[in-house]
Amino acid sequence: MPEFEDELRSVLPADIPCRDELIVKAACHLELIAEANQHFNLTRITTPREAAIKHVLDSVIPWQLFAKAKKVLDAGTGAGFPGIPLASTLPGTKFIMAESIQKKARFVESALAELDLPNASIQPQRAEELVRTERVDIITARAMAPIPRALDLFGPALKSGVRLLLYKGPDAEQEIEESAAAARKLRVKMGVVLRYDLPDQMGTRTIVEITGG
């Protein structure tokens, strides 16, 4: 669908690594989502511009935070975000996507086969179970759980040096404040490492980093 490629070309910054390849793969991914959406609800975002901004651009703006990692776990990837766009942008980093809802996991599996992304894979299970056996450098999640819940799920992994990078909305500081007691108990540090506004007033995003104390 040329509309997806056109919108991606207009919104993705010029300095994103592998930009041309990202545009082609992301457009194909969005097209697969649009087709799958006719059969079951993968996403409520339907227009090409909104999909390009809220799915792809939002996923890859923080790429530099992932650039030095060897292996990243994308917890609750849904239709493949942020894992698939980040894997397209950072071919030297391995991305493991976890999704416990089987039909979503099957969709991501078929999308990966179509996209030819050798550095990305999908596991149809919960991320907090996967991280017990899989050694990763970073755990990331978009629109997953509130910070206290994320600490419950991934607190043990943080003790072994894993970084948690959470995509949050504009009220991240409030969540951090509400999680202060839990963070002290686990001896972890939390802070905002990036904040950005999406185009067309589609929202403010905040990346929260949580690390072992």
Q: Which CATH architecture has domain 61-212?
A: 3-Layer(aba) Sandwich (3.40)
Q: Give the pLDDT confidence score for residue 213 in this predicted structure.
A: 63
C-alpha span between 200 and 1 (Å, rounded): 22
Cis, peptide link before residue 82, omega less than 30° from 0: yes
For the chain, the domains span 61-212
Only one residue has tokens 């809802």, namely 101
For 130-154, what is each residue's pLDDT tens digit? 999 999 999 999 977 889 999 999 9
Higher pLDDT, 142 or 159: 142
For 11-42, what is each residue's pLDDT tens digit? 999 999 999 999 999 999 999 999 998 888 78
C-alpha span between 99 and 142 (Å, rounded): 12
- Give the mean model confidence (pLDDT) for residues 167-190: 93
Q: Give the pLDDT confidence score for residue 1 in this predicted structure.
A: 59
- Give the mean model confidence (pLDDT) for residues 144-170: 91
Helix (H) or strand (E) holding 73: strand 71-75
- Quick check: 68 pLDDT over 80? yes
pTM: 0.95
| DSSP-assigned beta bridge partners for residue 128 | none
Q: Give the pLDDT confidence score for residue 175 in this predicted structure.
A: 92
